[in-house]
Amino acid sequence: MNGSSEQYGEFKPVIVGFLCNWCAYAGADLAGTSRIQYPPNIRIIRVMCSGRVDPVFILEAFNNGADGVLVAGCHLPSDCHYLTGNVQTEKRTLLLKKMLIQLGIEPQRLRLEWISASEGDKFASVVTDMVAELKQIGPSPLKANTQVSTGNNKG
């Protein structure tokens, strides 16, 4: 499904973000403590390693109404605190994107990023960019029947 943000009125994409504890989550935390502005559209789930993110978690997020899913972890090749979790995640994500196409979900709705604990600005720019891209693509095709709680989302 393609379309502009105007086509969907006040479409506010919901992003589920699986962030590894040691790098990406710390980067998100830094963005917050540094007061770096980014859209409030992301719901963060802290995991110990990006390699802990089972593909089922991602499919469940889409099935529950997420418009996009961000998986973020420690930089390749050697920053993962569990040695090869990030390498496994990269391989898995490539396969999962192919599966998403088969399910009618645009593969760009799933994004993998490497964000270190010192990259609060990168975390903010990834979220900002992802929200803009999802506004262009439009709501998830799975969203008609299910909704992720949007809380007090104003973004």
According to CB under 6 A, which one of 18, 22, 38, 123 is a site residue for ligand FES? 22
Single-letter code of the amino acid located at 1 = M
16/148 Cα distance (integer angstroms): 9
Structure tokens at 96: 């999962």
Under a CB-based contact definition with an 8 Å cutoff, are residues 155 and 24 in contact?
A: no
The H or E element that residue 48 is part of is none
Alpha-carbon distances, residue 145 vs 58, 60, 71, 138 (angstroms)? 17, 14, 24, 15
Task: Choose between 58 and 80: whose C-beta lies nearer to ligand FES.
Answer: 80
Which x/- pattern, by CB under 6 A, does the window 68-87 give for ligand FES? Answer: -----xx-----xxx--xx-
Contact region for ligand FES (CB under 6 A) — 3-11, 19-27, 35-43, 127-135?
19-27
Task: Choose between 86 and 93: whose C-beta lies nearer to ligand FES.
Answer: 86
According to CB under 6 A, which one of 23, 59, 61, 110 is a site residue for ligand FES? 23
Tell me if 49 contacts ligand FES by CB under 6 A: yes
Under a CB-based contact definition with an 8 Å cutoff, are residues 42 and 127 in contact?
A: yes
Structure tokens at 47: 């995991």
Size of the site for ligand FES (CB under 6 A): 13
- Chain residues that interact with ligand FES, rule: CB under 6 A: 20, 22-23, 49-51, 73-74, 80-82, 85-86
